[in-house]
Protein backbone atom coordinates (compact mmCIF):
# COMPACT_ATOMS: atom_id res chain seq x y z
CA UNK A 1 0.00 0.00 0.00
CA UNK A 2 3.03 2.27 -0.20
CA UNK A 3 3.38 2.69 3.57
CA UNK A 4 6.63 2.41 5.47
CA UNK A 5 7.20 1.66 9.13
CA UNK A 6 10.37 2.56 11.03
CA UNK A 7 11.11 1.50 14.62
CA UNK A 8 13.61 3.55 16.62
CA UNK A 9 15.17 2.81 19.99
CA UNK A 10 17.93 4.43 22.00
CA UNK A 11 19.30 3.87 25.49
CA UNK A 12 22.08 5.26 27.66
CA UNK A 13 23.21 4.97 31.25
CA UNK A 14 25.98 6.10 33.57
CA UNK A 15 26.87 5.24 37.15
CA UNK A 16 28.43 7.47 39.77
CA UNK A 17 32.01 6.36 40.43
CA UNK A 18 31.42 6.68 44.19
CA UNK A 19 28.70 4.04 43.99
CA UNK A 20 25.93 6.33 45.22
CA UNK A 21 22.73 4.91 43.72
CA UNK A 22 20.99 8.28 43.57
CA UNK A 23 23.63 9.65 41.20
CA UNK A 24 23.04 6.98 38.54
CA UNK A 25 21.44 8.10 35.29
CA UNK A 26 19.62 6.18 32.56
CA UNK A 27 17.34 7.05 29.68
CA UNK A 28 15.48 5.23 26.95
CA UNK A 29 13.59 6.40 23.90
CA UNK A 30 11.40 4.36 21.59
CA UNK A 31 9.41 5.49 18.57
CA UNK A 32 7.29 4.13 15.77
CA UNK A 33 7.19 6.17 12.55
CA UNK A 34 4.57 5.33 9.93
CA UNK A 35 4.77 7.02 6.52
CA UNK A 36 2.29 6.80 3.67
CA UNK A 37 2.53 9.13 0.70
CA UNK A 38 2.46 12.71 2.05
CA UNK A 39 1.50 11.77 5.62
CA UNK A 40 3.83 10.76 8.48
CA UNK A 41 2.76 9.72 11.98
CA UNK A 42 5.24 9.41 14.86
CA UNK A 43 4.50 7.91 18.29
CA UNK A 44 7.24 8.19 20.92
CA UNK A 45 7.85 7.14 24.52
CA UNK A 46 10.78 8.48 26.58
CA UNK A 47 11.93 7.73 30.12
CA UNK A 48 14.70 9.21 32.24
CA UNK A 49 15.86 8.06 35.67
CA UNK A 50 18.16 10.27 37.69
CA UNK A 51 18.71 11.13 41.35
CA UNK A 52 16.35 8.34 42.39
CA UNK A 53 13.57 9.89 40.31
CA UNK A 54 11.81 8.71 37.16
CA UNK A 55 10.35 10.90 34.41
CA UNK A 56 8.14 9.57 31.61
CA UNK A 57 7.07 11.38 28.47
CA UNK A 58 4.94 10.56 25.47
CA UNK A 59 4.62 12.32 22.17
CA UNK A 60 2.56 12.16 19.01
CA UNK A 61 3.41 13.99 15.82
CA UNK A 62 1.79 14.22 12.40
CA UNK A 63 3.24 15.86 9.31
CA UNK A 64 1.54 16.37 5.97
CA UNK A 65 3.23 17.50 2.77
CA UNK A 66 0.21 19.33 1.33
CA UNK A 67 2.00 20.53 -1.81
CA UNK A 68 5.60 20.73 -3.01
CA UNK A 69 5.75 24.14 -1.32
CA UNK A 70 3.64 23.64 1.83
CA UNK A 71 4.29 21.29 4.76
CA UNK A 72 2.00 21.18 7.83
CA UNK A 73 2.79 19.61 11.20
CA UNK A 74 1.06 19.02 14.52
CA UNK A 75 2.54 17.57 17.69
CA UNK A 76 1.47 16.94 21.24
CA UNK A 77 3.59 15.80 24.16
CA UNK A 78 3.27 15.27 27.88
CA UNK A 79 5.56 14.36 30.77
CA UNK A 80 5.13 13.16 34.35
CA UNK A 81 7.40 12.67 37.36
CA UNK A 82 7.13 9.54 39.55
CA UNK A 83 8.40 11.35 42.66
CA UNK A 84 6.11 14.39 42.50
CA UNK A 85 2.49 13.45 41.80
CA UNK A 86 1.66 17.12 41.11
CA UNK A 87 4.30 17.49 38.37
CA UNK A 88 2.77 17.63 34.89
CA UNK A 89 3.85 19.11 31.56
CA UNK A 90 1.85 19.30 28.35
CA UNK A 91 2.45 20.96 25.00
CA UNK A 92 0.62 21.16 21.68
CA UNK A 93 2.04 22.86 18.60
CA UNK A 94 0.94 23.49 15.03
CA UNK A 95 3.37 24.60 12.35
CA UNK A 96 3.53 25.38 8.64
CA UNK A 97 6.53 25.70 6.35
CA UNK A 98 6.29 27.28 2.91
CA UNK A 99 8.85 27.48 0.13
CA UNK A 100 8.38 30.80 -1.66
CA UNK A 101 11.21 30.20 -4.12
CA UNK A 102 14.49 28.30 -4.29
CA UNK A 103 16.46 29.37 -1.19
CA UNK A 104 13.57 31.28 0.44
CA UNK A 105 11.48 29.49 3.09
CA UNK A 106 9.03 30.73 5.69
CA UNK A 107 8.07 28.92 8.91
CA UNK A 108 5.41 29.69 11.49
CA UNK A 109 4.73 27.74 14.70
CA UNK A 110 2.07 28.25 17.33
CA UNK A 111 2.63 26.50 20.68
CA UNK A 112 0.36 26.18 23.70
CA UNK A 113 1.85 24.74 26.92
CA UNK A 114 1.04 24.09 30.56
CA UNK A 115 3.26 23.15 33.47
CA UNK A 116 2.57 22.18 37.07
CA UNK A 117 5.66 21.83 39.29
CA UNK A 118 6.09 19.32 42.11
CA UNK A 119 4.62 21.80 44.60
CA UNK A 120 1.41 22.12 42.57
CA UNK A 121 2.12 25.62 41.25
CA UNK A 122 0.67 26.03 37.74
CA UNK A 123 2.03 27.99 34.82
CA UNK A 124 1.29 28.03 31.12
CA UNK A 125 0.92 30.10 28.03
CA UNK A 126 1.32 30.21 24.31
CA UNK A 127 3.67 31.72 21.80
CA UNK A 128 4.14 32.11 18.07
CA UNK A 129 7.47 31.76 16.31
CA UNK A 130 8.06 33.21 12.83
CA UNK A 131 11.17 32.44 10.78
CA UNK A 132 12.34 33.46 7.35
CA UNK A 133 15.14 31.28 6.03
CA UNK A 134 17.31 32.54 3.17
CA UNK A 135 20.04 30.42 1.60
CA UNK A 136 22.13 30.88 -1.51
Total domains in the chain come to 1
In degrees, to the nearest 5, what angle opens at C-alpha 73 toward C-alphas 71 and 77? 165
Q: Domain for residue 9, yes or no?
A: no
What pTM does this model have? 0.76
Question: pLDDT of 71-104, one tens digit each?
Answer: 999 999 999 887 777 888 999 999 999 999 999 9
Q: Domain for residue 17, yes or no?
A: no
Q: Domain for residue 93, yes or no?
A: yes
18: helix, strand or coil: coil
Q: Domain for residue 21, yes or no?
A: no
Q: Domain for residue 14, yes or no?
A: no
Which residues are within 8 A (CB) of 66 and not within 5 positions of it... i.e. 6 or more apart? Answer: 38, 72
Largest CA distance in the chain: 57
Pairwise CA distance, residues 121 & 115, whole Å: 8
Question: pLDDT of 6-63, one tens digit each?
Answer: 999 999 988 766 655 556 778 999 999 999 999 999 999 999 888 777 888 999 999 9
Q: By residue range, what is the domain housing residue 87?
A: 46-134
Rg over alpha carbons for the chain, rounded to the nearest Å, is 19
Asked whether residue 111 carries a pLDDT value surpassing 60, the answer given is yes
Distances (CA, A) of 11 to 14, 26, 46: 11, 7, 10
pLDDT of residue 66: 96
Amino acid sequence: MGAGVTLRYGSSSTADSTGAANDDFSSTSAAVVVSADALTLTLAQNTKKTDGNSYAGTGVGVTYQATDELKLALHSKSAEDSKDADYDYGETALSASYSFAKGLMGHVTYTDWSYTNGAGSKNGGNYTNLELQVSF
